[in-house]
Structure formats: C-alpha cells, structure tokens
Amino acid sequence: MTESDRSVLWEFAESGHSDAVDQLVELAAERGDMVELRRLADLGHSDAVDQLVELAAEPGDMVELRRLADLGHSDAVDQLMELMEE
C-alpha cells in the first residue's frame, strides 16, 4: 500500500467510515506500527487499543502497557499482571 493509499484511508476514517478504520488498524498491526495504532486508539477505536496491547505484550513492553492501563484499558492491566507473575 502506498502512502497515498493510506492518506485516502485516513480521510475516510476521519469521516467516520468504520471499514477504513478497520483496514488502517489491520495494516498498522501487520507492520507493528505502534505510532499509528496509538493515533487510532487516541481517536477512540478500541480495535487499535486491542492491537496495541497485543503488540506491547509480545516483547513485554511494560511502559506501553502501563500507559494503556493508566488510560483505563483492562486488557493492558491483565497483561501487566501476567508479565509481573513471570
């Protein structure tokens, strides 16, 4: 996907098209692009939060998991607790 294609998807996403949001989340997750996932999560897209938690949990990124937990995301809290038990 080109940068131009992503820009078009962002335009649709920002206009409220959920399919565009879903595609952006999927593409960002595939690339491991936590910056783009944070941006989507900050806009209120829970699928982006789920992907952030998953990506942060893999390498044990406690800083990102704490940030998400502090924002009230229970899955991040669960992941933090699991990592602390290890």
- Token couple for 29: 């997750």
- Other beta carbons within 10 angstroms of residue 51's beta carbon come to 23
First to last CA, the chain: 39
Q: Is the pLDDT of residue 1 over 90?
A: no
Q: Of 19, 18, 20, whose CA–CA distance to 8 is shortest?
A: 20
Question: Which residues, at least 6 apart from 20, have a Cβ–Cβ distance to it below 8 Å?
Answer: 9, 10, 12, 13
At 6-39, the pLDDT tens digits run 999 999 998 989 999 999 999 999 999 999 999 9
pTM for the whole structure = 0.86
Q: Is the pLDDT of residue 86 over 90?
A: no
